[in-house]
Structure formats: C-alpha cells, structure tokens
Structure 1
Amino acid sequence: MAFTITDFHDLVRLLEQHEEWRKELRRLLLTDELLNLPNAVREFRKHVDRRFAELAKAQRRTEESLAAHRAETDRRFAELAEAQRRTEESLQRLSEAFAAHRQEFIAHRQEFLEYRAETDRRFAELAEAQRRTEESLQRLSEAFAAHRQEFMEHRQEFLEHRREFMEYRAETERRFAELAEAQRRTEETLRQVLLRQEQFQRTLDRFGQTVGVTVEGQMVEAVQRYLAERGYALLEPIASLAIDRIGELDGIARVRGPDGEETWLLISVKARLGPHAVHDFVDLLHHAAVQEALRAYGVRGPVLPLIFGVVLDRRALELARKARVGLLLQAQGELVAPQPWTLEASGGSEDP
C-alpha cells in the first residue's frame, strides 16, 4: 500500500491531537536522535527500503489484480461476444473507468516520485547538518582541551598562591603572637610606670603642699618688710583668693601708699621664679573671669602686680620689666618695682 499525501496529512493531524507524540517526536529529532544521527539515517533508510518494498509489492498486487481483471474481462468478452453490441456502451464506460484508474495510478506514482525526491533532499540536509555538527564537536573538543590546559595552569598557580598564603598566614600569626606578647609586656611595664608615677605624684603633691605653705609663709614676712621699707601700710591681712575653675591668687591685700592713696597688691608665689612664672601671672590677671572675681571682691582702681620667689631665672627680669610686674626675692629683695595696672583696661601694660 503506497504512502500518500493523505497518509502524511493524517499523520500530521494525529500529531496535532496527541501532545505526548509531539514531545516524543521533538525529543527524538532534537536530542538523542540528533546525536545518534548516523544510526537514525540507517534506520530511516531501512524504513524507506521497507516502504519501497511494500510499494513494489503493492504495485505487484495491483499488476496481478490488473492482470486478473484483464483475464476476467477477456473471459467476460468471450462470454459476452454475442452481446458485444449490447454491451459496447458498458464496455466504453468500463474503459473510461479503467483509464481514470490508470490516470490516478500515474498521479500516485508521480506523487511518490516527488516524495522520494523530497526524502532524498532531506537526507542530504541531514547529512550536511551531521557534517556541521561533527565540525562543531571537533571545535568544541579543541576548545575544551585548551580550556582544560588553561584550567590546569590556573590551578597550579592557585595551589602555589595558596601555599604562599598559608606560609604568610602562619608567619603573620607568629608575628601577631609576638606582638601580643610584646603588647602584654608593654602594658605590664606601662602599668608599673603609671603606678610609680602615681606614687611619685602623691609624693610630689605632699612635697608641693609642704613647700608651698613654707614659701607662702616666707612671702608674707618678706612682703610686710618690703611694704614697711617703702612707706606702705597694710590695711588688711595678706590672704589668698580662690577663683572657681581658674585657680587662685596666692596673695591679695589693700594697702595705702606714702602719698596716702589706697591700692591693691596682687601677689603670685613661685619657688623658682622664671619666664613661665611671669607669663602665667600676666595671663591670669588678663583673664576676664579673674577680673570679674576681683571686682566682686571689691578691688577698684589701680593694682600692683608682684611675684615673690626664692630662686631666680635671669630671663624673668626683662619679661617682668616689659610686663610692668614687680619681682621680689626672699634673699635679694626687690629686683623689679611693680607698676600700677588698671583692671578695667585689662592690664596696665601697654605691651605685656
């Protein structure tokens, strides 16, 4: 039986009706079938050969049927020889029908030849596709080999870098351990130093309190003698004045001068009288909070700034003169005479 266009259309319709057939057909054509294309081609050729054999057999059966039909016709012609005239029309119709069948057979054969040509063309396309696939596989294999070689080289580099990193990590951890131990020793040393510094500071504070009280006591005696020698009279005891968050004045007292004018004496006490003592005293008197505290204490008019010390740094002399600040030493007396300052003008020195 020949495979006709109708059979092909039936096959297409069946595929449209059955989704699972189409999936199976796509799987066979696009995946495993493509990879096993040579076997598929051979199987397809066997299938075509089998179909050709079936078509030849069908052709043979057709020819046998035709021969039998012709024999039957001849027999009928013999039997109906006498009725030839009566059956001419029937025979003509039979001849026409036979011609139509023959024409249909010729058309079917032509259709089969076209289908075979289409099949051959598709086989050629599949062979070309197989050739391109093999070429692609060859290029893919070559590219894979190159990538594999590159991967092996990168892997070797990675292993080398990893080994170097592990060595560096071990060395870093060792150094961190050494640094941690050094840090621990440093912290222990620092703790000891801070402990000793704290002990020293406590000793220094006790010494400073002792020295400060002693020097301030000597200051009171020395200032009293100093004022008496220059004709000044103390109008009140010499006392210190604490100023919140700033510090304190070591001595403050109201005095009357030889001319009968009253003024205020502001005193700073330093065991060692150096440049810093002068700068610190001047800055203290210039401080707005100090001046406000003095005004609140009742200080008005001019003041006499005086620094009392035990040991002198020579550099303090010139600074004291420029600042118009008096210097009084315990053993040497007055070295620089104090000049009047005006607190409202932020100090009596033009260029302290």
Structure 2
Amino acid sequence: MTPQMIEELLQDPVFRLKFLELLDRDPAFREEVRRKLLTDELLALPERVERLRLEIHKEFERVWRAIQENNRQIAALTERMERVEAQIATLAQQVQENSRQIAALTERMERVETQIAALTEEVRDLRRTVGRMEERWGLAHENMAEDLMPRFLASAGRRVRRSAMVQFDGEADLVLEVEETDGRRVTWVVEVKGRVWGPRPFEQVLERIRDAAFRSWLLREGFPEPVIPAVFGLAIYAGAEAMAQKLGVGLYEARRGEVVAPRIPSAPGASPSLPETSG
C-alpha cells in the first residue's frame, strides 16, 4: 500500500469511525496502539513517581519523629533551666550562702550550657540534613527534566547540544543550548517544578531570564541569544496551559511532553518579547 493510499484511508471517515470503534471494543488492540504511541519509560513513569513519593513520605516521617524527639528534649531542658533559674533567684536572696554551694551551682550551670551547646549543634546538624534531603529531592525533578527535555525537543526537530544545572537564589534551573530546525542556536531556560499551577512558575522563569547576574552567567558560559523561557512539571493543573500561552512560555509535562510551545523570535539574535509579570 502506497503512502498516498494510506493517507486517503486515514482521511476516510468510515475507516476512522471503525478504527475508533475497534479501539473501544478490543482492549488488546487498544493496549497495542497505546504502546505504539507511548514509550515504555513514559508508561512506567507514574509508577516511578509514586515510588519516589512513597520514599519521600517515609523519609519525612523519620525526620518528623526526630524533630518531635528533639522538641521533647528541648522542653525537658527548658524545664531544667527554669529550675536552675529559680535556684539562682533563691541564692541571690541568700547573701550568706556557702561559697561551696555557689561553686557547685556554677558547675551545674556550666554543664547545662554545655548540654545546650551540644543540643544546638544537633539541631543545626538536623537542619543541614533536612536541607540536603530537600536539595536531593528537588534535583530529582531537575534530573528527570534534563533526561526528558532533549527527547521532547527532538520530537519537534530540535537538537540539544549541551545542558547545565545552575542554582540561583537557592533554586536549580535547567539551561539548554538548542539547535533549532532552521540551524539557529538558542538558549532554553527551564523552570522545573513537581506540580505546576497558577502563574508563579511562569513568572519565576521570566524573572530569571531578566536577572542581570543570570544573563551575565549565560554570557560567560557561552550560551547564545536569544533566551527562550519554559516550564517543566511532573504534573500540570488546570489553568497552567492558558497562563503559558498568555505569557509565551513553553510548558512541558513529564508524561505528555510538549503541552504549549514557547514563543520563539523569528529574527536571529532577537530576544523573545517578555510580558510583565505580576511580581
């Protein structure tokens, strides 16, 4: 069968109706078509995301229990301090108190201060651990975006020449040097979120590419103009597509790929028109 015959067959309403009826009627045929349209990695993605969510939930429970125990210890230490302060108040009134008792109380206070210092260091260590965990979980999203975005762009005829993770203001952005279908090289800056809703993710990426320090970093690293904004999310909620279209920002989802194409300038070297954000 020639490509022309296939094209005519696909345009035939009767054929298309029968094809859709077959999809509804035959689960095995529907599963085969679905696997032709979706890669195994995308099919397995919801299960992988769920496993990651469960692991994060378990880790948060462990940290929460540690924090609760920490609070209990702080409460006990506070109670001890209150007793010490009461003793000090009593000693202040007892001017004739034995010097040995004062020395003993001073020694007790030193032990309390040592305990406070040790407990403070434990709290700092715990906060550092939580910070590292949050950073690791955040980067899991960025790593997924770094893996999937080249595939999504390739499906539109674009080629990623290099990628980089860069952190500004505590958040990681994915930066891609992309060769467009017409051979131009541009820079894509991708704001990565676990969940995308409301205007804030789009405003953040637009604010990022306006930031003078960030643009200076792009220049030093040799990333070409223009700079194209995009948002990548594991899950996209209602209203996100309309916001992306309104602001001209690309929108990509881990499961579906390209949801909204970004607004790309046609003239070489020109930057995209960036709307004002609410921030």
The TM-score range, normalised by the shorter chain, is 0.3 to 0.5
Higher relative contact order (CA 8 A, sep 6+): 2
TM-score by length of 2: 0.48
State which structure, 1 or 2, has the greater radius of gyration over its C-alpha atoms: 1
TM-score by length of 1: 0.39
Q: Which has the higher helix share?
A: 1
